[in-house]
């Protein structure tokens, strides 16, 4: 009979912190974007608008009339007292909440 010390037959992997899905899978730009804005922030916004079913067309990084229209439609549904077609902090916050509620 062997009464020696039992060997550990498994190893634990260190747990990694969970990342919030919405902020990494579909990041949103900060700041204010309006008609004529260009760049990666506009691309991020266009991707998110398309994901939450407010279609704005191609993700081209140019905030033109289709993207302004999509922002306005989003605001009419979720921010009815702030419909201006401009992406700002309140629109960002509400888009983030919609992404989270849809599991993104």
Q: Would you give per-residue pLDDT tens digits along the chain (104 residues)?
A: 556 565 555 555 555 544 444 446 899 999 999 999 999 999 999 999 999 999 999 999 999 999 999 999 999 999 999 999 999 999 999 999 999 999 88
At 25 the pLDDT is 87
At 21 the pLDDT is 43
CA distances from 5 to 2, 8, 43 (A): 9, 9, 60
């Amino acid at each position: 009979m062997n009464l020696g010390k039992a060997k550990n037959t498994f190893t634990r992997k260190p747990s990694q912190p969970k990342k919030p899905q919405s902020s990494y899978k579909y990041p949103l730009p900060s700041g204010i974007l309006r008609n004529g804005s260009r760049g990666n922030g506009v691309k991020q916004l266009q991707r998110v608008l398309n994901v939450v079913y407010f279609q704005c067309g191609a993700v081209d990084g140019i905030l033109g009339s289709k993207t302004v229209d999509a922002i306005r439609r989003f605001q009419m549904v979720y921010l009815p007292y702030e419909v201006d077609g401009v992406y700002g902090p309140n629109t960002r916050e509400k888009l983030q909440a919609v992404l989270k509620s849809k599991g993104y």
